[in-house]
Amino acid sequence: MDSISLNDGTTIPQLGFGVFKVDPAETERIVTEALEVGYRHIDTAAIYGNEEGVGRAIAASGIPRGELYITTKLWNDRQDNAPAALRRSLDKLGLEKVDLYLIHWPAPANDRYVEAWEALVGLRRDGLTTSIGVANFLVPHLEKLLASSDVVPAVDQIELHPAHQQPATIALARERGIAIESWGPLGQAKYPLLENPVIVAAASAHGKSAAQVVIRWHLQSGFIVFPKTNHRERMIENFEVFDFALSDAEMAAITALEADGAGRVGSHPDTVN
Q: Are 226 and 17 in contact (CB under 8 A)?
A: yes
- Cα–Cα distance for residue pair 140/180, rounded to 1 Å: 16
Mean pLDDT rounded to a whole number for the chain:
97
* Stretch 182-208: mean pLDDT: 97
Q: Are 63 and 40 in contact (CB under 8 A)?
A: yes
Residue 261, pLDDT score: 83
Residue 239, pLDDT score: 96
Residue 152, pLDDT score: 98
| Class of domain 3-186+222-227 as given by CATH | alpha beta
Q: 150-171 burial, b for 16+ CB within 10 Å, e for fewer? A: ebbbbbbbbbbbbbbbbeebbe
pLDDT-derived band of residue 144, with 50, 70 and 90 as boundaries? very high
Residue 40, pLDDT score: 98
**Residues known to be catalytic:** 48
Torsion from C-alpha of 233, 264, 105, 218, nearest 10 degrees: 50
Q: Are 235 and 39 in contact (CB under 8 A)?
A: yes
* Stretch 191-198: mean pLDDT: 97
Q: Are 132 and 121 in contact (CB under 8 A)?
A: yes
* Stretch 89-111: mean pLDDT: 98
41-94 pLDDT, tens digit per residue, is 999 999 999 999 999 999 999 999 999 999 999 999 999 999 999 999 999 999
- Cα–Cα distance for residue pair 8/236, rounded to 1 Å: 31
Closest C-alpha among 159, 167, 178, 175 to residue 265: 159
Residue 1, pLDDT score: 72
Q: Is the pTM of this model over 0.85?
A: yes
